Amino acid sequence: MSANYAEVFSRSLEDPEGFWAEAAEAIHWDKKWDAVLDDSAAPIYRWFRGGRLNTCYNALDRHVDAGRGEQAALIYDSPVTGTTRTYTYAELTDEVARCAGALQTLGVGKGDTVVIYMPMVPEGVVAMLACARIGAVHSVVFGGFAPQELAVRIDDAKPKVIVSASCGIEVARVIEYKPLLDKAIELAESKPESCVILQRPMATASMIDGRDHDWADVMSQAAPAGCVSVEATDPLYILYTSGTTGKPKGVVRDNGGHAVALRWSMEYVYDVQPGDVYWAASDVGWVVGHSYIVYAPLFAGCTTILYEGKPVGTPDPGAFWRVIQDHKVKVLFTAPTAFRAIKKEDPSGEFLKKYDISHFTYLFLAGERLDPDTYHWASDLLGVPVIDHWWQTETGWPIAANCMGIKPFPIKAGSPTKPVPGYDVQVLDAEARSVPAGIEGIVTMKLPMPPGCLPTLWEDDERFIESYVSAYPGYYFTGDGGYFDEDGYLYIMGRVDDVINVAGHRLSTGRMEEVIATHPDVAECAVLGVGDELKGQVPLGLCVLKAGVDRDDTEIAKEVVQMVRDQVGAVASFKVATVVLRLPKTRSGKILRGTMRKIADGEKFTVPSTIDDPVILDEVAERLRRVGYAKE
């Protein structure tokens, strides 16, 4: 690719409307837009106002209409069930059209919401695209969340229908989803009219008469539905993500900007063309799954892989190389933690020697900071460009990357390289002044952000404004800290709020604290994100007991761990809690989480001058040492 980054980048910022109008030519529109960028309600911006399109048509039917119906659209590869199934574009279109018809029969129409709580099976993807086909708004909830978390999302999205399955499979463990779903519906105030349940052979879900329908039955009876034209600014989906409070944020994605940005990214960021095989080893419950398992590869006419397995243990650390070989994968996108898991089990890459992956071209990593060790290991092992790129649920596509479809830059380990065209990234200090190269600050984006990024939060413009665009007026607050170096490379060093990143999964320590605080013996608590060799970070809980509690500390710690697992979910990986006598605080009462995190990680720290009582730090360190942290 010969396009020059400086030219493409400066044009994207100097003439965003011209730039994105040109990119929008790659999308099929039922009606062209009236305005490329509508800034009349800034800081809420809308792209392609007045345009009409259908996202599902752009992902499926248009490729069939263009004669690519027999090309593989989706390959389901499931080592946990021993299944591989290929859907051509024509077959996937038919399935989706029938599912869309089934949803219509259940009363789902344009603008209605549908919650999808599914393991990594093709029916999950079919349900998402079926919603898009009829203009319904899907909200996919990751399978590893507990009923309480699902209930919160049900209450916010108020779905007419929930689509789920009898079970998921975690390596060799069958996790029954239906009891979790039933419990969530019981907890939720907003009750769905119907549930559609995929019965998998490994577990049979018990059905509630009148409410629950068998996926196979509704699909066999359904008439195919056509694509419903929607406004570019109509919502395509809601995806809940962890904020600093217990209440997750419902990130809204629109139809038009999303299609344009994702289609553009496939060519310019990932360097893929129609017919290429693209694999995002993530889960449809996360943003990576939405954007790069489902929508972007299909917009681009690629073959996407849906992998129901892990990087290790299904059956061994050669699992990824087997998939890359068997399906001729050109690009793999996953989280660094997956590579740390492979490296741990197969440090010298013996398993790679069993497979021919000579066609493999790029490895893209995101979801957490790519540590230089993992970068060098993957790069030396694979001998292909290993591209760190930075983004978040809110943006839906990369903010910073070494764009492989534009003339690439030399890689610097530890940096996701430079801002992607469309993103005006600025590092600011607390007074909203630009900081010089080499100095760490708060990473922001100057508004407006490019198409595809969240226009707002679900039915909550106020929270959108308060969370993202009021701290630094005119800028979007990413929640990340970082800096630019002298060459304009961006470095993202971690969150500046109470969000932590566990195995590439974003979690709120505030939510875990809320759960722990309900333990009858706990007076107050703090959850920290501490360093972990495999998962990057894991949560660690510190609890202060109520006066007069005279029970075994370890018993209480165990109960607290179980509560978080039951109420947030296994995905939180909350395994360690300890009782402390007091929590260190500033004189104004703010818990010194950052200082405790440094102590837990064995890092150097300075005792904050605002601390109430420095002796507490020694007590905390002593307690942390007992549970394996705070090593000198």
Return residues touching ligand COA (CB under 6 A).
Answer: 119, 143-144, 168, 170, 175, 281-283, 286, 288, 310-312, 334-335, 337-338, 341, 367, 503-505, 570-571, 573
Nearer to ligand AMP, 481 or 602 (CB): 481
- Selection from ligand COA, ligand AMP, none that 492 binds (CB < 5 to 8 A by kind) is ligand AMP
Helices (H), 108-229: 122-134, 147-157, 178-187, 215-221
Please report, as ranges, the residues that interact with ligand AMP according to CB under 6 A. 241, 287, 366-370, 388-393, 416, 478-480, 492, 495, 501, 506
Among 476, 628, 618, 613, CA closest to 557: 628
Q: How far is the CB of 14 from ligand AMP (least distance, A)?
A: 27
- In whole angstroms, the minimum distance from the beta carbon of 183 to ligand COA comes to 14
Residue 396 interacts with, from ligand COA, ligand AMP, none (CB under 5-8 Å by kind):
none
- The edge-to-edge listing of strands for the beta sheet with 72-78 is 83-88, 72-78, 303-307, 277-280, 331-334, 362-365, 386-388
Shortest Å distance, C-beta 393 to ligand AMP: 3
Whole-angstrom CA distances from 306 to 196, 281, 282, 425, 445 are: 21, 8, 9, 33, 32
Minimum CB distance to ligand COA smaller for 51 or for 122:
122
* Phi, then psi, of 26 in degrees rounded to 5: -80, -5
**How is residue 596 written in tokens?**
């405790």
168 binds, among ligand AMP, ligand COA, none (CB under 5 to 8 A by kind): ligand COA
Q: Which residues, other chains included, contact 184 with Cβ-Cβ below 8 Å and sequence gap of 6+?
A: 117, 147, 148, 150, 151, 154
CB 28 within 8 A of CB 63: no
Q: Binding partner of residue 170 among ligand AMP, ligand COA, none, CB under 5 to 8 Å per kind?
A: ligand COA
**Pick from ligand AMP, ligand COA, none: which does 459 bind, CB < 5 to 8 A by kind?**
none
Provide the angle, in degrees to the nearest 10, between the axes of the packed helices 16-23 and 5-14: 110
SS3 content of the chain, % helix, strand, coil (to 5): 35, 25, 40
Shortest distance, position 258 Cβ to ligand COA, whole Å: 18
- Alpha-carbon distance 517 to 564, whole Å? 11
Please count the helices (runs of H) and the strands (runs of E) in the chain.
20, 31
Residue 392 contacts which entry, ligand AMP, ligand COA, none (Cβ below 5-8 A, type-dependent): ligand AMP
Quote the least distance from Cβ 256 to ligand COA, whole Å.
25
Question: Smallest gap, in angstroms, from Cβ of residue 465 to ligand AMP?
Answer: 19
Pick one of ligand AMP, ligand COA, none as the site partner of residue 388 (Cβ within 5 to 8 A by kind): ligand AMP
Q: Which partner in ligand COA, ligand AMP, none is near 570 (CB below 5 to 8 A by kind)?
A: ligand COA
Secondary structure element (H or E) that encloses residue 577, with its range: strand 576-580
Q: Looking at beta carbons only, is 222 or 563 nearer to ligand COA?
A: 563
Residue 282 binds: one of ligand COA, ligand AMP, none (C-beta under 5 to 8 A by kind): ligand COA
CB of 335 to ligand AMP, least distance (A): 8
Least spacing, CB of residue 282 vs ligand AMP, in Å: 10
- In the bound state with ligand AMP, the residue whose beta carbon lies nearer, of 476 and 629, is 476
Decide whether 238 or 288 has the Cβ nearer to ligand COA: 288
Can you tell me the distance from the alpha carbon of 419 to that of 16, in angstroms, rounded to the nearest whole number? 15
Write down the least CB distance from residue 143 to ligand AMP, Å: 16
Exposure b/e, 72-94, CB count within 10 A at least 16 = b: bbbbbbbbbeeeeeebbbbbbbb
